């Protein structure tokens, strides 16, 4: 058996052995880019799955932050052109604000893992 095929079998065995949800391999996660442009989050509302990556990029000349409205996470100061990478670990709905500019508001929804296919018994 070729090493790659053997590895695939191991991965599959791991999934079958699990009593919990089956999730897609890690490689299926995606990256969602949110721009901070013209003092707005663009797009203003984003949905991702746990394991996905969200990248906030400041396209304005003025600095911004991408901050959870309840203070659970915060990008810190993002100067013009800077980006912040955040991995969605927990499902939930997050309000996103800029600490410097109160009118800037966005929403981020993190859903259950992508690739949830079945509950194996």
Partner 1 sequence: MLLRFAPPTAALAALSFALVSPESAYTQAASLDDAEIAHIAVTANAIDAELAQIAQGRAVNEEVRQFAATMIRDHTGVNEQAKALAARLGVTPADNEVSRSLRSGAEAARQKLENIRGGEFDIAYMQREVEYHEAVLAALDQTLIPNSTNEELKALLQQARGAVAAHLEHARHLRRELAGR
Footprint on this chain of partner 1 (rule: CB under 8 A):
38-39, 60-63, 79-80, 100-104
Give the shortest CB-70-to-partner 1 separation in angstroms. 19
Give the shortest CB-28-to-partner 1 separation in angstroms. 36
Residue whose CB is less far from partner 1, 59 or 72: 59
Q: What is the 3-state secondary structure (H, E, C) of 35-96?
A: EEECCEEECCEEEEECCCEEEEEECCCCCECCEECCCCCECCCECCCCEEEEECCCCEEEEE
Distances (CA, A) of 66 to 20, 110, 121: 33, 16, 42
Residue whose CB is less far from partner 1, 14 or 44: 44
Residue whose CB is less far from partner 1, 78 or 88: 78
Q: How far does CA 17 lie from the centroid of its chain? A: 27
Give the shortest CB-44-to-partner 1 separation in angstroms. 15
């Amino acid at each position: 058996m070729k090493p790659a095929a053997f590895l695939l079998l191991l991965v599959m065995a791991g999934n079958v052995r699990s009593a919990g949800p089956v999730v897609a391999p890690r490689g299926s996660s995606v990256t969602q880019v949110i721009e901070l442009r013209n003092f707005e989050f663009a797009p203003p509302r984003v949905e991702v799955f746990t394991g996905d990556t969200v990248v906030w990029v400041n396209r304005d000349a003025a600095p911004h932050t991408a901050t959870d409205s309840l203070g659970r996470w915060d990008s810190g100061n993002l100067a013009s052109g800077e980006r912040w990478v955040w991995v969605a670990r927990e499902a939930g709905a997050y309000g996103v604000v800029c600490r410097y500019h109160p009118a800037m508001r966005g929403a981020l929804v993190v859903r259950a893992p992508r690739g949830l296919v079945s509950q194996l018994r």
